[in-house]
Amino acid sequence: MTIGKKFNELNAKEYIFYINNHKKYKDFNTLGLYRSLTENDNLSLGERITIREYAHSFFKKSFYFLQLKDPHIFVKISTLGMELTKADERRIWDDVIKNQQIILKDKRIKHRNFGTYSKHSCPYENCIYRGLMVNPNSHFAWGSVHFDSDKSKFSQKIKSERRRSERKQEQLIINKLIND
């Protein structure tokens, strides 16, 4: 049997149904299931978390491998609904990096062709992804992972420069008022 639908289109009840019956559906894809939890607009936050926990009771081991296959999704799913400080984020990524090493070490012994991974090495000294093993085609090849944050850093810089020049203008006006 096939589900014949994307996970993104399911509601919470259907998720539970397909998880319970996953052995009967040959197009059931565990990673696809997890991935969809961040993308499916039919789900409330509470439902996403409930489905994640339910899925973990079946597929915790596959989920663990997501740290290597798709670390961004792994972190997103693991932290659903949490408010993270920079320090929390740092700690989570440190754990992912540690677990990746464990997975790669294990896998290399069993079968050599687990995939091609290389270290995320960007020029940013404080980058939280430093040392992360990434598939060269993934979002984490540093060019694309930094694109968004660099863009926002750039616009922050523009904003702060604008503020600075506004303050300067104000000061000029005040000076003029005082001196005139």
* Residue 7 lies near Zn ion (rule: CB under 5 A): no
Q: Which residues pair with 119 in a beta bridge?
A: 133
Stretch of 32-40, 122-130, 152-160, 164-172 lying at the interface with Zn ion (CB under 5 A): 122-130
* Residue 122 lies near Zn ion (rule: CB under 5 A): yes
The nearer residue to Zn ion, 80 or 127, going by C-beta atoms, is 127
User: Interior CA angle at 57 toward 108 and 74, to 5°?
Assistant: 55
Residues 144, 96: Cα–Cα separation, whole Å: 19
* Residue 141 lies near Zn ion (rule: CB under 5 A): no
Residues 167, 11: Cα–Cα separation, whole Å: 52
Contact partners, residue 139, CB within 8 Å, separation at least 6 = 72, 145
What tokens does 42 get?
Answer: 């039919």
Helices 30-39 & 45-69 angle (0-180, nearest 10): 130
The nearer residue to Zn ion, 65 or 142, going by C-beta atoms, is 142
* Residue 75 lies near Zn ion (rule: CB under 5 A): no
- Inter-residue contact 132 to 100 (CB < 8 Å): yes
The nearer residue to Zn ion, 33 or 96, going by C-beta atoms, is 96
For 58, counting Cβ atoms within 10 Å of its Cβ (0-12 exposed, 13-18 middle, 19+ buried), the class is: middle
**Smallest gap, in angstroms, from Cβ of residue 78 to Zn ion?**
20
Count residues binding Zn ion (CB under 5 A).
Answer: 5
**Strands in 68-168 per DSSP E:** 118-119, 133-134
Tell me which of 77, 129, 133, 134 binds Zn ion, using CB under 5 A: 129
Stretch of 12-20, 50-58, 81-89, 117-125 lying at the interface with Zn ion (CB under 5 A): 117-125
The nearer residue to Zn ion, 17 or 124, going by C-beta atoms, is 124
The nearer residue to Zn ion, 83 or 125, going by C-beta atoms, is 125
* Residue 127 lies near Zn ion (rule: CB under 5 A): yes
Per CB under 5 A, residues contacting Zn ion are 122, 124, 127, 129, 142
